[in-house]
Copies of this chain bind each other. A is one copy, B any other.
Amino acid sequence: MRILIIGDIVGRPGRNALKEHLEELKNFYNVNLVIANGENAAGGNGITRKVADELFEMGISLLTTGNHVWDQKEILQFIDEEPRILRPANYLEGTPGRGSAVINLDGVKVGVLNLQGTTFMPCNRNPFFVAIEEVEKLKAETNIILVDFHAEATSEKIAMGYFLDGKVSCVFGTHTHVQTADEKILPNGTAYITDIGMTGPYESVLGIDKELIIKRFTSSVPLRFEVAKGPAQINGIVIEVDENTGKSLSIERINKICT
């Protein structure tokens, strides 16, 4: 089966790009399932009920997130009742929401696990130890397992790839908003890429207005960020997974500039 995974959707520009092009991408790559990272989908920060529904209606089956998951306060009102939105599984005990899910696709089950790194990020539970626990639980239901490792440091992300190699179908990174060119099938069959990139304004710094970010780096006075304007890009990957073994057969990067 073929799965399309969309990188961090940033604000309305990211959502509009998908509204216009997702169907076409699904057809072109002939995909059976679409998931996306939605932590920046609402105005660049977090996700709301309305924005999530907009994305589900486009045919995205599940949204993973990361450090921006709580940016919109209303998420605390619905995340417990919404199994299609994940937050990192290695958040501390007692955190609302859930970190993994199983999608039932006409009888074929696909497990999705969301994890967050701890290097240059807040300290949560060790993502490697939690990965082992969660993968074991998902394995009881399916061999097809996708892992969104939302992390900053390349070392931590690649280590997770090798750590889970042969245990899951795909480990893909999110959070840096820059797509990496290191996609590969690891020795034991896991598709891997350090970061799948960002779906949002093309001429921007991670989706944010570039002049504001330049000001931030050249000033000691903080300022409000705003999602950039202009044409968008759609970043992501398509993987092909053997449904019987759960191993990946291919991984291909998508980097579409929408003009």
Contacts and interface: CB of A to CB of B under 8 A. Distances in A.
B220 A91 contact: yes
A120 B152 contact: yes
Contacts of A197: 181-182
Given A76-B221, A91-B220, A219-B94, A158 B178 contact: yes
A255 B181 contact: yes
Interface stretch (A32-40, A54-62, A138-146, A206-214): A206-214
Interface string A211-227: 00110111111100000
Interface string A153-178: 11110111011000000000000111
A179 interface: yes
Interface stretch (A14-22, A23-31, A121-129): A121-129
Nearest to A183: B181
For this chain, the copies found in one complex come to 4
A107 interface: no
A188 B42 CA distance: 31
A103 interface: no
Binding site secondary structure of chain A = loop
**A-B pairs, 7 with minimum CB distance:** A123-B123, A91-B220, A118-B123, A181-B181, A154-B178, A179-B181, A154-B176
Contacts of A152: 120, 152-153
Given A76-B221, A128-B214, A179-B180, A155 B206 contact: yes
A245 interface: no
Interface in A196-253: 197, 203, 205-206, 210, 213-214, 216-222, 253
